[in-house]
Structure 1
Amino acid sequence: MRIIGLLLLTGSLTMGLAACGGGDEQSTAKQEKAVETSTEAKAGVEEFTITAKNWNFSSDKEIVVKKGEKVKLNLVNKEGLHTIKNDELGIDLTADKPAEFMADKTGEYVLKCSTVCGATQDHEGMEISLKVVD
């Protein structure tokens, strides 16, 4: 009887610990997988994933698009909570809401973090460039 009770207790603890582990890494992996899946599903749309860490944006590739292309931007927050905004392009990007727009004007645009995420000087420098070329 004690052996059965001990086995049940051990099994319950093992399952409980397995369910609690992983946290952010699993969540990030799910976000990245969702981005890959949506890339395959949306032909004809130039898609970019921007990763946000504290006071820094990076992209999976240089953000350069041709005039007339439809563009989709995704945001993955690795550290902190960040959003991206550019009024000229109509971009209001959050981690749970991708931004899509038509690149109809050539130029270089600055995408800035629109959520105060730290000291003013660090937050003000949190930007990434998007170029629309002929």
Structure 2
Amino acid sequence: MIIIANVLVGFVAFLHVSFLVLEMFLWDKSVGLRTFGHTREFARVSKTLAMNQGLYNGFLAAGLVWGLSLGLAGDSTKIFFLGCVVIAGIFGGITASQKILLFQALPAVLALAALFLT
């Protein structure tokens, strides 16, 4: 079960690296516009905010990778950062888009559940 848990944690980290790339580098490019469904004008005026948000997603990914690198000793680190992801996902789902619940919160909840079952 620990392998499944770590694969799920790795997947959540990968998602957050992807969010970092989308928000920091592709926000105002065609892929970012399609992904987030916003206009070029909105992307232009919100680019700095998106880059800041992307940086935070990078910190979440880094924390999860750090937890994975510690092996069994990293379980508390993984739990902490997954908890942060779940809270951010719930908040984003309430305030921005319900899709965030599916793409951010749910994978983290599954990873947490797998960790607690090990």
Calculate the TM-score normalised by the size of structure 2.
0.28
Higher fraction of helix: 2
Calculate the TM-score normalised by the size of structure 1.
0.26
Q: Which has the higher contact order (CA 8 A, sep 6+)?
A: 2
Higher fraction of strand: 1
Structure number with bigger Rg? 1
